[in-house]
Amino acid sequence: MFYTFLSISPIPFQSQEVEETLKRIQSHKGVVGTIVVNNEGIPVKSTLDNTSTVQYAGLMSQLSDKARSVVRDLDPSNDLSFLRVRSKKHEIMVAPDKDFLLIVIQNPTD
């Protein structure tokens, strides 16, 4: 089930192709949830409950911004393309884009 959040900016990805891609990601074994966050850190689409969505969106947006800053400080011509955080409980993958972040939370595999 997808929960949709209102955003002050228009959502240009409301296409059938994007919906199918999100459903395909969500159908992978071990995927706990997916979140799309706009460039203001506001979740615009999620498969998680509201509390978890807001928590993951806020924290992962901040972490992604910091990681991007570190990458650029090391090499100004470089940019962050993907971020993966693995803990004992979950693996969180973040794909940053100019306007959005895609966050995927999954159970770690051995």
Every domain of the chain and the residues it spans: 3-106
- The sign of the dihedral angle between the CA atoms of 6, 100, 94, 14 is positive
Report whether pLDDT(1) > 80.
Answer: no
Average per-residue pLDDT for the chain: 87
Over residues 72-99, the mean pLDDT reads 96
Q: For 3-106, which CATH class?
A: alpha beta
What is the Cα–Cα distance from 78 to 65, expressed in whole angstroms? 14
Tens digits of per-residue pLDDT, 9-46? 444 556 788 788 889 999 999 999 999 999 898 999 99
Give the integer Cα–Cα distance in Å for 83 and 63.
9
Pair 37, 95: CB distance under 8 Å = no
Model pLDDT, residue 14: 61
**pTM for this entry:** 0.83
Q: What is the structure's pLDDT at 24? A: 92
pLDDT at res. 5 = 44
pLDDT value at position 110?
Answer: 61
Q: What tens digit of pLDDT does each residue of 63-85 get?
A: 999 999 999 999 999 999 999 99
